[in-house]
Amino acid sequence: MDATKYRAAEQDLWRFFGLAPTETRVRLGGPGVDVRVQEVGEGDPVLFIHGGPNAGSTWAPFLEHFGGYRSLLVDRPGTGLSDPYPLTLENLLPFADGFVGDVLTALGVERAHVVASSFGGFLALRSAAADPSRVDRMVQMACPAFAPGMAMPPFMKLMTVGPIRKVLNALPPNERVGRSLLRQIGHGASLDAGKIPQAFFDWYLALQRHTDTMRNDGDMIGRAGSFRGFDQSLSFDDETLGRVTTPTLFLWGADDAFGGEDVARHVTGAMANAELRMLPDSGHLPWIDDPAGIAAASAEFLAAGGPG
């Protein structure tokens, strides 16, 4: 971990998008771990929960176009500049059920909107099912982790194999690998069109080089599954999805390698109050394919309700 070098790259990313977040550290009561939260803007609170391996600053392209809200960007435990918290099959579900509530309580926020992606989407859905009083409205970016029928891209299958994961962690990160990972999860069209700015790749390379994010999230992936797939105890069943009464908009990339339209319709069909929009030429992280469009759709949906 070299926090100074990581912060330098992160600040370059934020400057590129014309933003200057403040930050704080809070302690999550459930797991008893300190996490970093960055904050941008003023208004009703919106908690952003990223996937993995990733960190809170991944939302920078989105936030350039997203005003009128108090955006709260958490680095999940073990990612970015947050402290580690080893997740296992035994503690992952309780951690997920309490995550949103733990973060909001630590920040002194009673209720908030949530925007979430991938593993963050899993945490948000589990939290909303466990305690709907903390979540007002929710935007889910593409396929949440452990959705019924979810697939595993090749790089994630490799990360479930311990010896291979150790070799991958020992190799020096490079931009070419980062671009390959984005292509594997459905962002080929944006890469070919040059839509993703170099500042984003520079930041992500610094995340890999100067934080323990890749090692920590890789270890979590290894504990959660094998080359054949993730442990079935983690998969959403329809009963759990049905307990998510929070109004939820799914912005789902049609090229998402984790799950296509059939997975999307299963998930939204099992939920009580979910809306699905399929996005052509978009992948697992749709806000990097169309930052302005995704931010506008999210703001419009969240504006239909406010924290009560």
Whether the pLDDT of residue 308 is over 80: the answer is no
Domain boundaries, the chain: 3-302
- Identify whether the C-beta of residue 237 lies closer than 8 Å to the C-beta of residue 243: no
Percent of the chain past pLDDT 70, that is, above it, reads 99
Sign of dihedral through CA atoms 291, 296, 297, 298? positive
- 230 C-beta neighbours (distance < 10 Å), count: 18
pLDDT tens string 171-225: 788 899 889 999 999 999 999 999 999 999 999 999 999 999 999 999 998 888 7
The amino acid present at 54, given as its one-letter code, is N
DSSP 108-177: T-S-EEEEEETHHHHHHHHHHHH-GGGEEEEEEESPPTT-TT----HHHHHHTSHHHHHHHHHSPP-HHH
- Confidence (pLDDT) at 158: 77
Any idea what DSSP says for residue 233? Answer: G
Q: Which CATH class is domain 3-302?
A: alpha beta
The per-residue pLDDT for 306 is 44
**132-145: per-residue pLDDT in tens?**
999 999 999 999 99
Pairing of strands 274-279, 248-253: parallel
Helix or strand run (H / E) with residue 201: helix 198-210
Distance of CA 96 to the CA centre of its chain: 13
Task: Assess whether pLDDT exceeds 50 at residue 296.
Answer: yes
Judged by average pLDDT, the poorest of 74-88, 148-162, 185-199 is: 148-162
Helix axes 198-210, 175-184, angle to 10 degrees: 110
Q: Are 223 and 88 in contact (CB under 8 A)?
A: yes
Tokens of 4: 């100074």
* Closest alpha carbon to 137 in 99, 109, 111, 98: 111
What DSSP string runs through 46-69? EEEE--SS--GGGGHHHHTT--SE
Q: How many CA atoms lie within 13 A of 79 on its CB side?
A: 23
Rg of the Cα trace of the chain?
18
Phi, psi dihedrals of residue 208, rounded to the nearest 5°: -70, -40
- pLDDT for 167 equals 78
Report angle CA 211, 217, 219 to the nearest 5 degrees: 115
Q: Return the structure tokens found at 203.
A: 């930041």
